[in-house]
């Protein structure tokens, strides 16, 4: 009886591996990571399907206690705004502090505390920032000053303003920010939400 | 491909036996696939949505420039505490302030059921919402272009007979309530809506509703 020839069933995975590595590289290069936020907020959901723009955004973050944080997206504009703010409030920053400022995406302290905060190591900054927030009362409205200084640099008004708040934030805290924006004639802005499906038939 | 030939030529006596070194790439592919999945989810799902709003200016505006709204087509929502919504129709006069039934209570609708706010809005905005639905179907079937869709939806929503909604969040409401209310405008195709501050009259109505008329009996109705 003739014995059937033994076939080896080894599949060469090299080609497959090549393809996956290529895809992996593609995804790694195209993905942009969201800036790390000093406070965790859970945005409310809506049926809107417009995505948040990648660049040129000023995002205002409001936490549950009403602390306000600001992120200005192109780091160059953020640094420019810092220079103007420093001049306005008579504070000087050394080069090390400026470098730390560029690395930290969010601004979240009153101007007089900013140099001290920037001297802290990166990992401790978020925790330190949490207890302050940018003041936005009518007497000391630094949030409005930041935005106005950004607008002074960004003459074509390319930066969009977005507001992100936790869904359980009491309305008066959000209202305060909205009122501030209207006061400096920033009447158009966007609220950040997460997607939920539209109800049946709409 | 993944094998390295370490032997040379014919097998000869005394020489080491020809060996093929084979590397199994399967675990490598597994790991890569896992990483690809991770990056794919990161890029598409984490991106939040935005809801554009335009707030009215706080400057004084000329009386003639104020947009006119049909009284019968206006509805005011008061966003209250504990996810409650109170609403009244049209404009209020003195007798309306006295009657605690002027204000009605409802809840936010969920994705599954239209009960509550959505039903109320849809009932009053039936025409516009039916037109918008037809338009959306046409768009899905690619019968209308993107620009046409925009101009036509603006026409439908801006119609003089379309519903106008005034949203007044009270200090007891939270941010989610506001977004839910704005979302409802989107779902029910309401084109004309505004976020407005609570007035003295609104607080009066709310208090009166909660005390079932006792508040109006004890206090004078506000002038505005």
- Among candidates A118, A121, A93, which has minimal Cα distance to A108? A118
Q: What is the helix, strand, coil percentage profile of chain B, to 5?
A: 45, 15, 40
Q: Which residues pair with A188 in a beta bridge?
A: B54
Question: Which residues, 6+ apart, have CB-to-CB distance to A199 below 8 Å?
Answer: B109, B111, B112, B114, B118, B187
Enumerate domains of chain B plus CATH numbers.
68-124+163-218 (3.30.420), 126-161 (no CATH)
Sort out which chain A residues have CB atoms less than 8 A from B111's CB and list them: 196-199
CA distances from A87 to A83, B23, B109, B117 (A): 6, 63, 51, 51
* A48-71 tens-digit pLDDT: 878 888 778 888 888 888 888 888
Residue B114 · residue B122 · CB < 8 Å: yes
Residue B11 confidence (pLDDT) above 60: no
Dist CA A61 CA A108 (whole Å): 9
Interface of A with B in 37-76 (CB under 8 A): 43-52, 62
Query: Nearest CB to A187: which of B54, B111, B186?
Result: B54
| 0.90 surpassed by complex ipTM | no
Provide mean pLDDT across the span A140-151: 86
| Residue B118 CA to its chain's centroid (Å) | 12
Dist CA B73 CA B164 (whole Å): 6
Provide mean pLDDT across the span A125-148: 84
Task: Supply the pLDDT for residue B30.
Answer: 92
Query: Does A30 contact B43 at a Cβ distance shorter than 8 Å?
Result: yes
Interface of A with B in 11-30 (CB under 8 A): 12-17, 20-21, 23-24, 27-28, 30
* DSSP symbols for A5-54: PPPP-PPP-HHHHHHHHHHHHHHHHH--PPPPPSS---PPEES--PBPPS
* B18-56 tens-digit pLDDT: 777 888 888 989 999 999 888 887 776 667 788 888 887
* A3-57 tens-digit pLDDT: 666 777 778 888 989 999 999 998 888 776 666 777 888 888 888 878 888 778 8
- Among candidates B223, B219, B197, which has minimal Cα distance to B100? B219
Greater pLDDT, B10 or B191: B191
Residue of chain A minimizing CA distance to B180:
A46
Task: Supply the pLDDT for residue A18.
Answer: 92
Dist CA B159 CA B26 (whole Å): 63
CA distances from A67 to A43, A82, A144, A164, B170 (A): 16, 20, 14, 12, 20
CA distances from A90 to A15, A83, A111, A140, B89 (A): 62, 10, 9, 15, 54
pTM for this model (two decimals): 0.77
Residue A147 confidence (pLDDT) above 80: yes
Mean per-residue pLDDT over chain B, rounded: 78
Residue A121 confidence (pLDDT) above 70: yes
């Amino acid at each position: 009886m003739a014995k059937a020839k033994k076939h080896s069933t080894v599949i060469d995975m090299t080609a497959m591996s090549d393809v996956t590595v290529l895809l992996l590289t593609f995804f790694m290069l195209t993905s942009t990571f969201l800036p790390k936020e000093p406070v965790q907020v859970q945005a409310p959901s809506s049926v809107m399907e417009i995505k948040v723009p990648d660049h040129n955004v000023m995002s205002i973050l409001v936490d549950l206690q009403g602390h306000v944080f600001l992120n200005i997206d192109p780091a160059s504009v953020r640094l420019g705004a810092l220079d103007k703010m420093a001049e306005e409030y008579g504070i000087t920053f050394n080069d090390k502090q400026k470098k730390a400022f560029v690395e930290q995406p969010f601004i979240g302290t009153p101007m007089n505390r900013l140099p001290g905060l920037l001297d802290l190591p990166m990992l401790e900054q978020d925790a330190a920032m949490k207890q302050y927030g940018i003041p936005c009362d009518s007497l000391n409205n630094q949030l409005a000053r930041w935005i106005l200084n950004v607008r002074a640099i960004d003459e074509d008004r390319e930066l969009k303003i977005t507001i992100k708040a936790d869904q359980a934030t009491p309305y008066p805290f959000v209202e305060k920010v909205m009122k501030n924006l209207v006061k400096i004639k920033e009447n158009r802005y966007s609220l950040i939400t997460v997607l939920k499906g539209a109800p049946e038939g709409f | 491909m993944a094998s390295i030939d370490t032997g040379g030529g014919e097998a000869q006596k005394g020489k080491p036996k020809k060996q093929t070194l084979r590397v199994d790439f399967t675990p490598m592919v597994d790991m890569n696939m896992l990483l690809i999945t991770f990056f794919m989810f990161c890029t598409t799902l984490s991106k939040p949505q935005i809801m554009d709003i335009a707030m009215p200016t706080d400057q004084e505006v000329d009386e003639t420039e104020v947009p006119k709204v049909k009284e019968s087509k206006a509805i005011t929502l008061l966003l209250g505490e504990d996810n409650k919504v109170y609403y009244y129709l049209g404009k209020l006069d003195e007798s309306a302030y006295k009657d605690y039934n002027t204000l009605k209570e409802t809840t936010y609708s969920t994705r599954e059921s239209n009960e509550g706010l959505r039903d109320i809005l849809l009932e009053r905005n039936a025409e516009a919402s039916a037109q918008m639905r037809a338009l959306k179907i046409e768009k899905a079937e690619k019968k209308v272009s993107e620009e046409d869709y925009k101009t036509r939806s603006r026409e439908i929503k801006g119609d003089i007979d379309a519903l106008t909604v005034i949203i007044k969040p009270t200090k007891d409401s939270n941010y989610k309530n506001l977004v839910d209310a704005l979302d409802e405008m989107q779902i029910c195709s309401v084109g004309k809506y505004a976020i407005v501050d609570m007035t003295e009259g609104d607080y009066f109505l709310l208090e009166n509703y909660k005390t079932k008329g006792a508040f109006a009996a004890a206090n004078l109705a506000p002038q505005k």
